[in-house]
Amino acid sequence: MSLQSEFAQVARLGGRAALVTVVRAPDPGPALASRLLVHADGRSRGSLGAEGLDRAAVAHAEELMWAERSQLREERGVGLFVDVVAPPPRLIVLGAVDFAGALCRMARAAGWRPYVVDPRGRFATPERFPDAEEIVVAWPSEAFARLGGIDRSTMIVVLTHDPKLDDDALIAALDSEAGYIGAMGSRRAQAARRERLLAAGVSEEALDRVAAPIGLDLGAVTAEETALSIMAEIVATRHGRAGGRLSAASGRIHDVGT
């Protein structure tokens, strides 16, 4: 199978990969249209003609496939076009509560794949969460394994107020590469949760990954407004933004590849 065909197959199957192509090169230099295909698990196939250039191309590919954007990169005078395919990001919602339904709807509207996890089968039902990609009736640590593990493009939101569920979810989430971890609850509840997790052996540095209280300060009141607040923080975090008003920001509104 050609590299282009393999790349197209990854795209059809909803996978993640980057195809690096030489589009500009000095003379002498690598052949134009030389290609290197890099998969999300680090496997690569093909070559740009030089070991050092291949290593640099893999580094560019791994960065951009997780940033989920295609871009022209320059490496030692060689123009490399990094073409990326990636599935829609995942949002895993822990807790089959009313806020979870609004958050699933908001995630769907943003083009994300929402999942609901809760061991309480009487609450975690398709009828209550029709917008969920899947509902997993299991404890969080088991559910993460069923969902194929947690990668950098998976965001985790804990909405329960049950310490047993909260703690299991956060310990498992903090042991993963999740791109965002947030937890709902009052400041008092957050402080109590933090003490429990520290006592369970979670480090202060790890706990600093948790966005708590969750969401941006929008003055949200309803479930839908709260869902908007949470998704706004997730999107801002994912793109390395603070989430303030654009009218007060400097620099580019949108990052554009060169």
pLDDT in tens, 139-158: 998 999 999 999 999 999 99
Place of tokens 């194929």: 148
Is residue 40 located within the same domain as residue 119?
no
Is residue 186 in a domain?
yes
Strand-pair category, 154-158 with 90-94:
parallel
Evaluated on CA atoms 213, 214, 219, 224, the torsion sign reads negative
Report yes or no: 115 and 132 within 8 Å, Cβ to Cβ: yes
Percent of the chain with pLDDT over 90: 83
Dihedral angle of Cα 134, 138, 139, 145, to the nearest 10 degrees: -60
Is residue 249 in a domain?
no
Provide the domain limits for residue 49.
Answer: 3-85
Averaged pLDDT score across all residues of the chain: 92
Is residue 103 located within the same domain as residue 77?
no
CA distances, 28 to each of 10, 23, 72, 73 (Å): 33, 14, 21, 19
Q: What is the pLDDT of residues 173-183, one digit of tens each?
A: 999 999 999 99
pLDDT over 60 (residue 257) = no
At 172, the pLDDT band (50, 70, 90 cuts) reads very high
| The token pair that represents 160 in the structure block | 């329960």
Give 208 or 251, the one with higher predicted confidence. 208
Is residue 77 located within the same domain as residue 97?
no
216, 238, 241, 213: which is closest to 227 by C-alpha? 216
Is residue 258 in a domain?
no
**Predicted TM-score of the model (pTM):** 0.86
33, 74, 32: which is closest to 57 by C-alpha? 74
Tell me what pLDDT residue 253 has. Answer: 61
